[in-house]
Amino acid sequence: MTERPLMLASSSPYRRALLARLELPFQCASPDIDETPQPGENAEQLATRLAESKARALAAHYDNHWIIGSDQVACLPDGTLLNKPGSHQSAVEQLRQSSGQCVQFMTGLALLDTSTSSLQVHCETFSVNFRDLSEAEIEAYLRREEPYDCAGSFRMEGLGITLFKSMAGRDPNSLIGLPLIALIDMLRQWGRNPLLEPTAIQR
């Protein structure tokens, strides 16, 4: 498949930092989509639909690109979805719900070739076992990191790690918002290997 410029369909600084680790040239643009769950939609379906929707939202403006879309949804054992809290009180409630629970994080990933309409879609699952959290711990954590723009109300790359008892999954990058191992698999499937990239960003 013919190589195209890479476009990340996101305004997230976390996803930008993750993609930059591959040392490939890329641009970013923010997609404008409705992230409301559809009736009967589970966490995996929602994550993959939103990832694909983000990629497709930019397709008309970037007609000769490979567009990367990604979105994350957290899910409690009873199926309750945990999205970005947006406020302190919502984050408190999310961490109360997660305390002592195994929370599944579904990170949808889409890679769209806008010149051919070829599409790859994947959902990366990662499990987090939360400690039994006291009210004081929840308040102290949220006041220090204010992770109100993060699904599940924590930042794994920061103090969020103190909330966990254990984690399980193949790619912890997915917790931050972009499953790099799956993305590399997709790029390689289309003939692009970051390790052999002649135009890779030089350190």
- Is there a domain that residue 203 lies in? no
CATH classification of the domain holding 173: 3.90.950.10
- Is there a domain that residue 202 lies in? no
**What is the predicted pLDDT for the residue at 200?**
53
State the catalytic residues.
Answer: 71
Question: Do β-strands 118-130 and 102-113 pair in parallel, antiparallel, or remain unpaired?
Answer: antiparallel
**CA separation for the pair 181, 129 (Å, rounded):** 22
Q: Which residues of the chain have pLDDT under 70?
A: 1, 199-203
- Is there a domain that residue 201 lies in? no
**What is the predicted pLDDT for the residue at 203?**
44
**What is the predicted pLDDT for the residue at 104?**
95
**What is the predicted pLDDT for the residue at 199?**
59
Predicted TM-score of the model (pTM): 0.90
**What is the predicted pLDDT for the residue at 139?**
98
**Count of domains for the chain:** 1
**CA separation for the pair 46, 133 (Å, rounded):** 28
**What is the predicted pLDDT for the residue at 190?**
96
**CA separation for the pair 139, 148 (Å, rounded):** 13
- Is there a domain that residue 116 lies in? yes
